[in-house]
Amino acid sequence: MEEKQGKPVEPKYVVLLGPPGAGKGTQAARLRENMDLPHIASGDLFREHLKNKTDLGLKANAFMERGELVPDDVTIAMVVDRLSRPDCVRGALLDGFPRTIAQAEALDRALAGDGRKIGVVPCITVPDEVLVERLSDRWLCPICGELYHVLFSPPRQPGVCDNDGGELYQRDDDKPETVRNRLAVYWEQTSPLIDHYTRRGILVEINGDQPIDMVQADLRAAVAGNPG
């Protein structure tokens, strides 16, 4: 455990739960600014592998294109490896992982192996029809990963990243038919995690259907209110 001014600092592991488009990535980027924890997004890790044309990236892409989950064994190994790096000893903001009960159990085992545990699970809730609207107009920067939305969070200049001038792009899996499948997969395979973490007393529901800054305020309160 790390020490700050002589006192041991408890590591903080936060799992951001919520359907595709709920605002996990948007909120994690802002939360990081005041928490200084690594943001571990399983979807970003897969996309990074694909960009580098690794076997894992090519295997994952076949599932991602259909809006299905990548098999648990591959996903768990990739995230557990990431969590074992030194920058995660003080905690991490997990975004998009776990997405199944098997992944949640594997995460507990990996953290418990080093005497660590999840502190809080904010679940960002947004009605399905709003999610479809958000994802169909989601744009990203290929350089810094900044997220934009044509109506709700537009860049200063259309198609260009405010941070670095990168040319914004849309994700292939944000097509309406793939989005519908991803939402169905969320309700079937991921939503059981809501009960799972509620029973453990660490789930906090966050209303994601409000302006980005208000969601962030609620999220900060949820994370600060939990000592874990």
Residues acting as catalytic residues: 24, 99, 138, 171, 182
How many residues comprise the chain? 228
- The tokens for 41 are 């997004």
Q: Should residue 99 be labelled a site residue for ligand ADP when binding is judged by CB under 6 A?
A: yes
Cα 163 to chain centroid, rounded: 21
Task: Please identify, among the stretches 6-14, 16-24, 198-206, 217-225, the one whose residues bind ligand ADP according to the rule CB under 6 A.
Answer: 16-24
- The tokens for 126 are 């947004």
From the CB of 7, what's the least distance to ligand ADP, in Å?
34
Q: Which of 97, 106, 116, 168 binds ligand ADP (CB under 6 A)?
A: 97
Task: Tell me whether residue 107 or residue 120 sits nearer to ligand ADP (CB atom).
Answer: 107
Which residue of this chain has its Cβ atom nearest to ligand ADP in the complex?
Answer: 43
Task: Please identify, among the stretches 2-10, 30-38, 62-70, 162-170, the one whose residues bind ligand ADP according to the rule CB under 6 A.
Answer: 62-70
Burial class (CB in 10 A: 0-12, 13-18, 19+), 162: middle
Say if residues 71 and 63 touch (Cβ distance below 8 Å).
yes
Distance CA 136, CA 149 (A): 9
Say how many residues touch ligand ADP, by CB under 6 A: 35
Distance CA 50, CA 46 (A): 6
Distance CA 126, CA 29 (A): 19
Q: Should residue 160 be labelled a site residue for ligand ADP when binding is judged by CB under 6 A?
A: no
Q: Should residue 153 be labelled a site residue for ligand ADP when binding is judged by CB under 6 A?
A: yes
Distance CA 7, CA 112 (A): 22
Interface with ligand ADP by CB under 6 A: which residues?
Answer: 18, 20-26, 42-43, 46, 63-64, 67-70, 75, 96-97, 99, 103, 134, 138, 147-149, 152-153, 173, 182, 208, 211-212, 215
